[in-house]
Amino acid sequence: MKSIYTIIVLTLFLYSCQSEKEKIEKSCKESIEANVREQLKAATNVKSLDSLRIITVDTITEQIEIKVALRYIMSMVEYYKQMAELMAERAKTRRDIASIGSSIFGGSTLNKMQYEDAEADKENALKLLDTLTIYNDKMLELNDKYKKADSTKFLHFEATALCQVTKQDMTMRRDTLYYWLTPDFKIIERQDVIKKYIGNLYKH
Prediction pTM value: 0.77
Contact status, residue 46 vs residue 167, Cβ threshold 8 Å: yes
CA distance 25 to 52: 12
pLDDT surpasses 90 at 106: no
Among 104, 98, 148, residue whose Cα is nearest residue 118: 98
The residue ranges of DSSP E strands in the chain, in sequence order, are 46-60, 156-167, 172-181, 187-188
d(CA 123, CA 121): 5
pLDDT at 133: 95
More confident residue, 179 or 42: 179
- The values of phi and psi at residue 183, to 5°, are -55, -25
Mean pLDDT of the chain: 85
149-162: average pLDDT: 93
pLDDT at 62 over 50: yes
Q: Kindly report, residue by residue over 9-53, the tens digit of the pLDDT.
A: 333 344 455 678 889 999 999 999 999 999 888 888 888 999 999
Residue 197, pLDDT above cutoff 80: yes
Query: Which residues, in sequence order, are CB contacts of 63 under 8 Å at separation 6+?
Result: 146, 149, 150, 151
C-alpha 165 chain-centroid distance = 24
Is 2's pLDDT higher than 60? no
Amino acid at 55: I
Asked whether residue 109 carries a pLDDT value surpassing 70, the answer given is no
What is the reported pLDDT for 105? 59
* pLDDT of amino acid 99: 76
Q: Is the pLDDT of residue 107 over 80?
A: no
User: So what's the pLDDT on residue 179?
Assistant: 95
Q: Please tell me the predicted confidence (pLDDT) of residue 36.
A: 92
